[in-house]
Amino acid sequence: MKTLFDRLDRLRLTALLLWALPFVVLPPLGAFWLWQAGRLSWWLAALLVCSAAGYGLQAWLLRRDRQLLAAAATAADPRWSPKAEGAWTTVEQLAGAVKPADWPLHDGSRLWTLGQNTLETVARCYHPEQERPLLELTVPHTLLIIERASRDLRATVTDHIPLSHKLKMGDLLRAWRWKDAAERLVTLYRAGRLVINPLDALLGEAWGHLRGQAYGQAWMETQRWLLREYVRKVGYYAIELYSGRLTLTETEPTAQATQATQATPIDEPLRIVVLGRANAGKSSLINALFGRLTAATDVLPDTAMGLMPHRLEREGLTAALIFDTPGCDTELLNEKALRKAAMEADLILWVCAAHRPDRQLDRLRLDTLRAGFVERQERRPPPVLVVVSHIDQLRPPREWQPPYDLLNPQGSKAMNIRAVVEAVAENLAVPVATVIPVCLAENRIYNVDDALWAAMLDQQDEAIKARFLRCLNQRIREENWALLRRQLANTGRWLLKLPGRAVQ
């Protein structure tokens, strides 16, 4: 095997050394002149100051680049379901564990293995029962993940890596091949420099070590960021696929209008479902939210949920449908119907009577809903607000002088209202902040337009996330049927043309 010097032309090497000789002897001659002039100490001090300033500036640039790269990193979508969020946690753990030494950028096969490991990680989160969950991925969706991840990674690298648009894959490969030879040449140069001028060589080694450490760390950070971003991109689109948001069509998932409001050019309205026991005040609450008795024109036809929806439009709230329901303690709303109503809801208002201490059934029904959403990890549970009605009937029953300050209650009425709110929160296992005491009696409407509406607006963002996943599930079903119809139609056309092709 030929060595590096065997492959070089010795005459050309001699010419190169002769050309470089004046520059090589210049540093030792300059140091000798400074020593004779008595200025060597000043030069050394200036060298240390400039070196420290340069190293400090390089360290600051490295921290700045880290912040810029961290800001450009792919993040989870806030509208993801709990199952998708759990899968993203595993992807982040995988991305944090990658090391440039284990996954060199010039090795395409290793990068493919890293991408395959990422897909395997996400697939196992969605198909834990499968021995090889990656095989559950269809071929078109696999190609779609590669397409989307490559597109985003190309844009990210172009925007955040300097001169990346000029760097070619051949340059990386050639640099890697010449790495060992270049290191041997540098070693020879450093040895010769140490023989000619030991002092200058030692100072140069110290400065070169600091500078090389800073630049090497910057390059290592860039490689690590590229690998982590590669894992995040592949993992992101794999989660998008398994959660149903990455479809084979080019359109992005959007909210569609409901059947009851097809004539109006609005997006899917929020679905607010009012639940609770019979005679708890559900219908009175809906009337109070409207500020009047709901007229017949406000009532929409029965939907697939079998419930009675009303259009609800108020300032600050996106278009919404509010559904009145039978009591959860009646045969009209059994456990199956209750689960279905909750699954189709984006926000739940659970009405509980303050003067009824028997809340075991309310807790049982709420636990049923919670268990249902635990089983449906692809859906985001709708936020639940507990509305405590009939607070005017608490002791003393004849006293009614609102408003009542529950943070600093004064008087028996306010203290009893606060005690009921805390008891309801404990009995139903909900945060105290989500329990809103109201009065729904005629001419005594209290705490609806302020506290309840404020709580509903505060939960609106979470309700919109729940709506997005609800609409997404519907779109997945529609897309699957549309794809099947198109595939069958194309197959039928091909079969019709087959006899003519056979004759030719």
Q: Say whether 331 sits in a helix, a strand or coil.
A: helix
What pLDDT does 256 receive? 41
CATH of the domain at 362: 3.40.50.300
What type of residue sits at position 365?
R
Provide the residue range defining the domain that includes 52.
Answer: 39-242
Count CB atoms within 10 A of the CB of residue 33.
Answer: 11
Q: Is residue 401 part of a domain?
A: no
Do 295 and 435 belong to one domain?
yes
Return d(Cα 91, Cα 228) in angstroms, integer.
10
Query: What is the reported pLDDT for 334?
Result: 83
Q: Quote the pLDDT of residue 421.
A: 96
pLDDT confidence of 396, banded at 50, 70, 90?
very high
**Greater model confidence, 234 or 420:** 420
3-state DSSP assignment of residue 291: coil
Q: Are 311 and 300 in contact (CB under 8 A)?
A: yes
- How high is the pLDDT of residue 29? 79
What's the rounded mean pLDDT across residues 467-484? 70
C-alpha distances (whole Å) from 1 to each of 4, 5, 6, 277 are: 10, 12, 10, 88
Please give the C-alpha separations between residue 67 and each of 39, 71, 152, 162, 449, in angstroms, as whole numbers. Answer: 42, 6, 20, 15, 45
302 is a domain residue:
yes
Buried b (16+ CB within 10 A) or exposed e, 55-92: eeebeeeeeebeeebeeeebebbebbbebbbebbebbb
Single residue among 210, 242, 274 that ends a domain in this structure: 242
Q: Where are the beta strands (DSSP E) in 169-269?
A: none
Q: Are residues 193 and 337 in the same domain?
A: no
The answer on 295 and 190 residing in a single domain is no
Residue with tokens 């779609």: 144
For residue 392, pLDDT over 90 is answered with yes
Q: What's the N-to-C CA distance of the chain in angstroms? A: 62
Least confident of 49-53, 409-413, 457-461, 470-474: 470-474
- Mean of pLDDT values over 475-488: 64
pLDDT of residue 30: 79
Residues 105, 188 within the same domain: yes
- The more confidently predicted of residues 23 and 191 is 23
Regarding whether 428 and 335 lie in a shared domain, the answer is: yes
Is 279 in the same domain as 236?
no
Q: Is residue 30 part of a domain?
A: no
Q: Which residue has the higher pLDDT, 445 or 261?
A: 445
Structure confidence at residue 43 (pLDDT): 79
Cα separation, 295 vs 314, in Å, equals 16
Same domain, 50 and 186: yes
Residue 263 pLDDT exceeds 50? no
- Angstrom CA distances, 171 to 175, 179, 308, 457, stand at 6, 12, 68, 56
Name residue, tokens 């709303």: 333
Whether residues 91 and 121 fall in one domain: yes
- Residues in Cβ contact with 130 at an 8 Å cutoff, skipping those fewer than 6 apart: 123, 124, 136
The answer to whether position 28 is within a domain reads no
This prediction has a pTM of: 0.65
What pLDDT, on the 0 to 100 scale, is given for residue 257?
A: 40
Residue 218 included in any domain = yes
Q: Is residue 487 part of a domain?
A: no
Closest CA to 318 of 274, 258, 266: 266
Alpha-helical (H) ranges within 127-178 are: 139-160, 169-177
* Spatial contact of 300 and 309, defined as CB atoms under 8 Å apart: yes
Mean pLDDT of 270-283: 93
What is the H or E stretch that residue 283 is in? helix 282-290
Does a structural domain hold residue 74? yes
Question: Would the pLDDT of 473 be above 90?
Answer: no
Instruction: Report if residue 419 sits inside a domain.
Output: yes
| Lowest mean pLDDT, pick from 52-56, 154-158, 329-333, 435-439 | 154-158
Question: Do residue 214 and residue 352 come from a single domain?
Answer: no
Q: How many structural domains compose the chain?
A: 2
Same domain assignment for residues 340 and 277: yes
Return the SS3 of 269. coil
191 or 159: whose pLDDT is higher? 159
Write down which residue in 242, 275, 308 finishes a domain.
242
Q: 84 and 200 share a domain?
A: yes
Greatest Cα-to-Cα distance within the chain, rounded to the nearest angstrom: 113
Q: Are residues 49 and 184 in the same domain?
A: yes
